[in-house]
Homo-oligomer: A and B are copies of this chain.
């Protein structure tokens, strides 16, 4: 494995193998496996889990990391090609990325969606341009439409909790003050399909995921024996569900139009996950969320603080699975 950019690049069996490695490293730590190795972490956007879990995981394998945050101690980086750089970017990714790559053994990059042009973001134009400039092992720390480290951690969490392969997995839109990117819903939807689950996307009118993302998930479901459905009927969606995965995202219908999106969500204040949502779910239905989460906007305290929430395990598994990814990319 030379890059970890999209869980879809791995077959179901390869994912299972990678998770087995994660478990092995938990059971039998290898504190010198990456001795002498250096990981560069390039963050165009804020982070808590990714920032800290990659540094901690690298350290637990004996390696070291450095962090670069353009615009904060480091020059802003231009991503557009062919432009006359007389604005606020002092450096271009065409220099910045190869230079950083030349200092490290593997590079991780976080670059959220621009959020203006849905087609460009679906095509991963920005991240792909950076990936093409990196000649070292590369990790996607969240791009416009993907978050494979989160997806892999969530898959492990489902395994840890013995959620059946064909269990019913509901990905539900939830409320937020602003339109958020599609990276996590896209990655989560695909992950659950790739695992072979029966996936239902629950979302209000206007928040259906783009057909490109639904189609990718359908292909994964077909290969793994799962299924994909979508609905705006909460009661139907949650009937018998084993997992409710909540996520905030902006309206694809009004992509990049903050006011239209805000108008649309004005009537959606009841899309805050509460205990009553689970009345028709399977006993023991789990609540998942990638974090960060806004309490009492996306999900009520009663759910996050109750026994069905597994958000802390998901977050901890970020470090666990990323150690396996780093091991696969860098260990001799």
Is A73's CB under 8 angstroms from B74's CB? no
Is B73's CB under 8 angstroms from A43's CB? yes
Which of A31, A43, A74 counts the most chain B CB atoms within 10 A?
A: A74
- CB-CB under 8 A from A301, the residues of chain B are 81-82
- CB-CB under 8 A from A92, the residues of chain B are 293, 295
- CB-CB under 8 A from A49, the residues of chain B are 99
Q: A69-B73, A73-B43 in contact; A312/B102 too (CB < 8 A)?
A: yes
Cβ distance A62 to chain B, nearest Cβ, rounded Å: 8
Q: With the chains together, A64 CA to B34 CA distance in Å?
A: 14
Which chain A residues in 180-224 approach chain B with CB under 8 Å? none
At the interface with chain B, which of A14-22, A51-59, A144-152? A51-59
Produce 1/0 per residue, A1-29, CB < 8 A to B: 00000000000000000000000000001
Is B75's CB under 8 angstroms from A73's CB? no
What class of interface size applies to chain A in its complex with B? 35 or more
Cβ distance A300 to chain B, nearest Cβ, rounded Å: 10
Q: Is A116 an interface residue (CB 8 A)?
A: no
Which chain A residues in 58-98 approach chain B with CB under 8 Å? 59-60, 62, 64, 66-69, 72-75, 78, 81-86, 89-92, 94-96, 98
Q: Is A238 an interface residue (CB 8 A)?
A: no
Produce 1/0 per residue, A283-321, CB < 8 A to B: 000000001111111000100110000011001100100
Interface SS of chain A: mixed
Q: With the chains together, A57 CA to B55 CA distance in Å?
A: 17
Q: Is A47 an interface residue (CB 8 A)?
A: yes
Is A85's CB under 8 angstroms from B36's CB? no
Is B99's CB under 8 angstroms from A73's CB? no
Q: A56-B40, A66-B52 in contact; A292/B73 too (CB < 8 A)?
A: no
Is A48's CB under 8 angstroms from B311's CB? no
- Contacts from A to B (Cβ < 8 Å): 29, 31, 35-36, 38, 40, 43, 46-49, 51-53, 55-57, 59-60, 62, 64, 66-69, 72-75, 78, 81-86, 89-92, 94-96, 98-100, 102-104, 177, 291-297, 301, 304-305, 311-312, 315-316, 319
Q: Could you pull out 22 A-B pairs where Cβ atoms are within 8 angstroms?
A: A36-B59, A38-B56, A43-B73, A48-B99, A51-B66, A52-B66, A52-B100, A55-B64, A56-B104, A57-B103, A67-B73, A69-B73, A75-B292, A83-B296, A84-B297, A85-B297, A86-B294, A90-B294, A92-B295, A94-B305, A95-B312, A99-B316
